[in-house]
Amino acid sequence: MDEIIRFSVSLPKSLLDELDKKIAEQGYASRSELTRDLIREKMVKDSWETSSGELVGVLTVIYTHHQNELVVKMLELEHDADIKIVCTTHIHIDHHNCLETLVLRGEADKIKRFSDRISGLKGVKFAELTKAAVPHT
């Protein structure tokens, strides 16, 4: 386990009150736990801006499966992708709509480009990329 270092942070009272409110709402054990999560979140975000290595993302897509050729176009993009599609999950929301999640591995710009291509297809109602990475801490 890493050595724990204590340090102090100066905050305006109003910001500290907001921090304590978040701690209570989200069930954190302490200010330290929330602070560690915020730092890790920032590190993941930064890694998507600076990393040239492999990252992980989850693309969530809702689409109408009745749209002409949409499923075929999606499959073509998936098969031609220059990233790894680790797994997909397909859920029938109702008679007209499907939800898919795609777990993706690759370089940040390639994952973003793939996600943008899927998002731009006619019949896609919602698409959101969740950017993930394992912080090196």
- Which segments are annotated as binding site for Ni(2+)? 79, 90, 92, 98
Give the contacts of 24 (CB within 8 A, at least 6 positions apart): none
Would you list which residues are annotated within the binding site?
79, 90, 92, 98
Contact call for residues 59 and 83 (beta carbons, < 8 A): no
Exposure letters 64-89 (e unless 16+ CB within 10 A, then b): eeeeeebbebbeeebeebebebeeee
Q: How far apart are CA 111 and CA 116, in angstroms?
A: 9
Name the phi and psi angles at 62, rounded to 5: -115, 130
